[in-house]
Every structure is written in C-alpha cells, then in structure tokens.
Amino acid sequence: MCGIVGVVGGRDATPIIFDALRRLEYRGYDSAGIATLVDGRIERRRAAGKLDNLAAVLARAPLAGVTGIGHTRWATHGAPTENNAHPHGTPRVSVVHNGIIENFETLRRELEQAGHVFVTETDSETVAQLVDFHLARGLSPREAAFATLRRLEGAYALAMIFAGHDNLLIGARHGAPLVVGYGENEMFLGSDSLALAPLTRRIAYLDDGDWVMVTPDGAEFFDASGERVERAVRTTALIAGSVGKDGYRHFMDKELHEHPVVIGQTLQRLIDPATRRVMLPDLPFDLAGLPRAAITACGSAFYAGLIGRYWLEGMAGLPVDIDVASELRYRDPPLTPGGLGLLISQSGETADTLAALRGMRARGQHILSVLNVEQSTMARESDVVLGTVAGPEISVASTKAFTAQLSVLACLTIAIGRARGTLTAAQEQDLVAELLDLPSRANEVFDQAPAIREMAAVVAEARDVLYLGRGSSFPVAMEGALKLKEVSYIHAEAYAAGEMKHGPISLIDSTVPIVATLPSGRLFEKTLSNLQEARARGGRLLVFTDTEGEARLRGLAEIVVALPTVSEFTAPVIQTIPVQMLAYEVALLKGTDVDQPRNLAKSVTVE
C-alpha cells in the first residue's frame, strides 16, 4: 500500500529518494516524507497530500545527507496529516513502514509505561519507539532492530536509519514486499524493483521474515530467527523508460490505449500462430487430471476470474469454485486435493490474494497464478506463473491488466479443454484464430470514442447508475460499475440482467441511467427483454452492443455503441474496453484525480 525507499552511498540521497517516491506514488499518496543522516543526526521533511507538496517543502528547506529513507503513505491508522506522515522516529532512529502492526496497542501501552511519549496516531510509530527503547538500553542498531522485529505482529516492510551510523540502512519484511538494489558503491531498499528501475536492475528479494543490514558495500541477510542467510541477486527485466505518459493526459488513458498491444503480447507468449495451438509452459501437474478449480482474486482481477469461470466450466467442463480472496481466506472451504488453485493479480502482492494462495497450498491445490508483476511475492510462491504481458500499470484503476488476464484465462481454458477432451484440435484452432483476431478488433473499439463521450455526458449527470449484463457480460458490467465508482465517485451497481425484476427494477426512473453490455449471441434476446422492461418503466438505456445487435437496439436505447462483432467467447474482452473508457470519460467531465482517485492505492498489501 505505502511505498518505501532507502539509499545508502556516496551521492546526495534526497533527489534519489524523491525520484523513487515518484515511481512509488501509485502505492499511496496521502502524505510523504524523507529522513536523512546529516553529520550523524537525523533530519526529516514531511508533507500531507501529494508528493508535489513534499517537493515544495524540500525547496524551502533542502535536505542534505547521503543516507536516507522515504515513504509515500496510504493511511491505515491515523488521518493523512503531516504529523502522521512517515518517517517516524526519535533522535536515535527513523523508520518508514508499509503494512499494519496488529499488536501496536499492546506495544504502545508497554512503551508508554516505560516513559516513551508517542506523538502520532499511527501504528508505525510503535516500531520506531520500540527500536529507540532498545537503543537506549545500549543495544546496537542490529541488536535493537532484531529485538524489535521479534515483538511485531501483523504485516510490515520496514526501512530504518540510525543516528551516528552514516552508512547503514536496516530493512525487514513480513507479509509486505521489500527488495534490495545493488548499485556501484551505493545500495538501495525499495518496495518493488520498479521504484529502483533507473538506479539498478540488480535486485535481491527478501523472503518473508527476512531482515537485512545494508551498507554501501553490500547487504547481509538474516532470517526470522536471526541466522545469516544468502539471497540471490537477480537482474530484472524492468526498464524505467516504460513508465511515462507518452503524451497522454493521464496514465489511465495511455493504458486504455494499450489494450490491443497488451492482448497481442500476452497471447504471443501462449500461442503458436503457425499451428494455432496453445502452448503452455511445462506444468508440474496434469491438466487432464484436475478434479476442479478454485479461483480467487480481488477487485477487477476477481471479475476477470468470473469470466474465466464461464469459460472453464462452459468450454473445458471443469467445475469451478470462485470467491473474492478476502472472503475465501477465512471461509475454509473444503477443496478437493489435487485441484487447481488459480490466483489472479496484477501486482502479485495483494495481501488477501497472497493469504488465499497460501491457504490453497495448505489444502493441497496446485498453485497457478496469473500475474503481471512476475517478480512478485505471489510469483515466487506459485507452482506455475502465467504472465500477463501488460507492462507497468501505473493508473490506480486497473485497465489493460484486465484484458491481459482474460487473454491468459482464455488460453488456459483451451489448454484444459484439450487435455480433458472437451475441445477437439479443430475447435482449438478456431478458438485460437478468434483470439489472434482480438488485437485488431480491440483497436476498432477506439473508433467509438465519440459515442462513448456522448454516453459519458449522460452518466456524469447521474447520482446512481445501474450496469446490466448476462452470462460472461455480467462480470463486464461489474467491471464497468467498479471503474465508474473508482474514478468518478458516482454510485454504480452491477446486476445480472435476469435479476432486475427480483428487486432492483424498483430503482428505475429517468434519473438512473442503465448501462447494458449486450453482445449478439445466445443470450441477446433474453437480455433485450430485460432492457425492454426497464425502458417501459422510464429507464434511460445506454447500450454497448456489436454491429450485429445494433439495429435491434435503435429506437429502444437512447445511445447505442456498436462494437466490432466477435464470437461469444471473446466478446467479454472487447466489451470491457468501452466500459472502462466510459468511466474515464465521466471522470474527465467530473474533474476528478483520474490516475490517483481519493482513498485508493494501487497495491493493497494490507488486509
């Protein structure tokens, strides 16, 4: 959730840290701060709000020093004020923290009884005060950090600096990611390798429970019991150049326009175009023998999973259980041993999805994860990773990752269908041909931008919006409603079209626009009847259909967007793009902070 960075070396630390915080701002943007060591003393600058506010503070009061830590915050405990902004500390130690210290109240009480005075409302300050407690007893930074870590419960990634120790950073991770970057006579800590991308591509990942002493010469790793351990240094493939707006006004707009490329790149990894066959990497289990699949994810990734369920059940004949990860992890469903645990995540760091992954493994599932960040914690804990080749997704609202996830799930469905004998080789070739057609069909969606803007003008005036869809278009409607809520702050609900008359139809009047996703195919007539029922009650219909369905909707719907006609199989991929575009256009009209909507963070590494 929050972003962490640390630098130790020979150069001016503040500009390096600030630059890295810019790349981490997607993780949280309630407040930010930097602390450095200046002649052995800890100096600190902090500001509430976006990083620009911190830049203004630094311009007024520059911060020297070659060793320092920085933080962008997504508030959990304590309002997003300057006082609650990280780094937290005392004259002896300064700490940045990502995660939640669950036993902070107990620790705080103990420390207060020992005479420590807390100055913030955060759980994180407890860490700094506890380290300070141990330093005051004469422990070294290393001993004080270890003694502190042994008392912490919950999730954390931490970086610390210590007064009088100009060349030392200590980092730790438990349930929240942290990486070590290797430079030339300088070393780094970061929440992810993206933050460190222009500084170094040589990265070591801490395992859960690890902590690390970092000096300009290198890093010494320890496990949770304090034993020295080795962690491999790898060269990451990420390049900083791919993290720009490329002339677009917002990252969200840029990333929406990347849908066609991302679909193409992702399919390219999994399909042999010459034979029109799906080619998965070698798997440590047999697809034909899977008894069932359990899918889990959060937010948009969960909706991608719902579409995956329609495909896996309908085309591969594989029974599927699916639940959001935050529910699954505490529900303890009986899973059939030897089943497929299918996790979907852009970041690969989402706390609930990661916990669900571990729960599934404990219950004998083969873990296959569909991930965009292939160096993430989930990647390292999976039996197989099928990568979505979406590149860095910076806009907090997910867009291109969704169609990339669908591209992977579509290939997986075909592979499982072939293995289980529900799909013939000829059917596989036809389905693959439909997939390979997707990038160019996706490109055509952008021709509909003027009609989508017309829709946006209607939606922007509404207080509530209903999204309807049936079959695999229902999760598309959910994705549309979520995206609208996220970036425009307009209330939206998605319903399965057939459920309308069981309740939500009472909401319908001329002030509640109904956005329907209605591709031609088996379910067209059924959903059309539901729309007629809504129209008869004064509902304003805004419909995404395809060129084949268009004529049937003229006269019934107020605005019709005719997308390229594709098969029922690939329709949800195409239909997703315009519902996301609609949310973006509405956000522009509402003047919201599109790339960093209020209260959100890109990577949800707390429960």
Contacts 24+ apart (CB under 8 A), 596-601: 596/25, 596/26, 596/29, 596/50, 596/396, 597/396, 597/397, 597/486, 597/487, 597/489, 598/489, 600/396, 600/397, 600/486, 601/1, 601/2, 601/26, 601/27, 601/28, 601/29, 601/74, 601/396
Q: Least Å distance between CB 300 and ligand F6R?
A: 3
Q: Least Å distance between CB 216 and ligand F6R?
A: 33
Part of the chain binding ligand F6R (CB under 6 A), chosen from 100-108, 315-323, 431-439, 479-487: 479-487
Q: Least Å distance between CB 557 and ligand F6R?
A: 26
Interface map 271-300 toward ligand F6R (x if CB under 6 A) = ---------------------------xxx
Please, are residues 544 and 456 in contact by the beta-carbon 8 Å criterion?
no
Q: What are the residue numbers of the active site? A: 2, 602
Secondary structure of residue 531 in the 3-state scheme: helix
Which tokens hold the place of 81?
Answer: 């004020």
What distances in angstroms separate CA 532 from CA 311, 458, 503, one per listed residue? 28, 19, 16
Q: Least Å distance between CB 461 and ligand F6R?
A: 23
- Residues of this chain, 385-404, that bind ligand F6R according to CB under 6 A: 397-398
Please, are residues 7 and 188 in contact by the beta-carbon 8 Å criterion?
yes
Q: Least Å distance between CB 579 and ligand F6R?
A: 12
Which tokens hold the place of 441?
Answer: 């069909």
Torsion, Cα of 496, 499, 505, 508 (10° steps): 0
According to the binding rule CB under 6 A, does residue 98 interact with ligand F6R? no
Q: Least Å distance between CB 595 and ligand F6R?
A: 12
Interface map 350-369 toward ligand F6R (x if CB under 6 A) = x--x----------------
Q: Least Å distance between CB 294 and ligand F6R?
A: 16
Cis peptide before 87 (omega within 30 of 0): yes
Please, are residues 563 and 536 in contact by the beta-carbon 8 Å criterion?
no
The rounded distance, in Å, linking the Cα atoms of 410 and 377 is 24
Q: Least Å distance between CB 150 and ligand F6R?
A: 30
Q: Using the minimum distance from each CB to ligand F6R, give the nearer residue, 67 or 377.
A: 377
- Residues of this chain, 439-468, that bind ligand F6R according to CB under 6 A: none
Q: How far is CA 350 from the centre of its chain?
A: 7
Bridge partners, 43 (sequence order):
36
Binding footprint of ligand F6R, residue count (CB under 6 A) = 16
Bridge partners, 211 (sequence order):
172, 222
Among 32, 196, 293, 301, binds ligand F6R (CB under 6 A): 301
CB atoms near residue 53 (< 10 Å): 16
Q: Using the minimum distance from each CB to ligand F6R, give the nearer residue, 118 or 248.
A: 248
For residue 34, the 8-state DSSP code is E
Q: Least Å distance between CB 520 and ligand F6R?
A: 28
Q: Using the minimum distance from each CB to ligand F6R, give the nearer residue, 30 or 434.
A: 30
Q: Using the minimum distance from each CB to ligand F6R, give the nearer residue, 195 or 553.
A: 195
Q: Using the minimum distance from each CB to ligand F6R, give the nearer residue, 212 or 294.
A: 294
Sequence-distant (≥ 6) Cβ neighbours of residue 244 within 8 angstroms: none
Q: Using the minimum distance from each CB to ligand F6R, give the nearer residue, 129 or 377.
A: 377
Q: Using the minimum distance from each CB to ligand F6R, give the nearer residue, 100 or 397.
A: 397
According to the binding rule CB under 6 A, does residue 604 interact with ligand F6R? yes
> Distance between the two ends of the chain, CA-based, in angstroms?
10
Q: Using the minimum distance from each CB to ligand F6R, give the nearer residue, 347 or 527.
A: 347
Is the torsion defined by CA of 380, 181, 140, 126 positive or negative?
A: negative
Interface map 314-353 toward ligand F6R (x if CB under 6 A) = -------------------------------xxx--x--x
Part of the chain binding ligand F6R (CB under 6 A), chosen from 129-137, 154-162, 227-235, 478-486: 478-486
Angle, vertex CA 241, rays to CA 345 and CA 261, nearest 5: 55
Q: Least Å distance between CB 295 and ligand F6R?
A: 13
Interface map 29-68 toward ligand F6R (x if CB under 6 A) = ----------------------------------------
The rounded distance, in Å, linking the Cα atoms of 575 and 527 is 15
**88-89, strands of its sheet edge to edge:** 88-89, 93-101, 154-162, 169-174, 211-215, 218-222, 228-229
Q: Using the minimum distance from each CB to ligand F6R, give the nearer residue, 90 or 300.
A: 300
What distances in angstroms separate CA 566 from CA 434, 445, 547, 570, one per listed residue? 8, 12, 9, 6
Q: Using the minimum distance from each CB to ligand F6R, give the nearer residue, 210 or 393.
A: 393
According to the binding rule CB under 6 A, does residue 382 interact with ligand F6R? no
Q: Least Å distance between CB 475 and ligand F6R?
A: 12
- Counting Cα atoms < 13 Å in the Cβ hemisphere of 396 gives 26
Q: Using the minimum distance from each CB to ligand F6R, give the nearer residue, 26 or 188.
A: 26
Residue entry with tokens 């929406």: 256
Please, are residues 512 and 464 in contact by the beta-carbon 8 Å criterion?
yes
According to the binding rule CB under 6 A, does residue 14 interact with ligand F6R? no
CB atoms near residue 440 (< 10 Å): 12
- Residues of this chain, 401-420, that bind ligand F6R according to CB under 6 A: none
For residue 226, the 8-state DSSP code is S
Interface map 230-259 toward ligand F6R (x if CB under 6 A) = ------------------------------
According to the binding rule CB under 6 A, does residue 486 interact with ligand F6R? yes
Interface ranges with ligand F6R (CB under 6 A): 298-301, 345-347, 350, 353, 397-398, 482-483, 486, 603-604
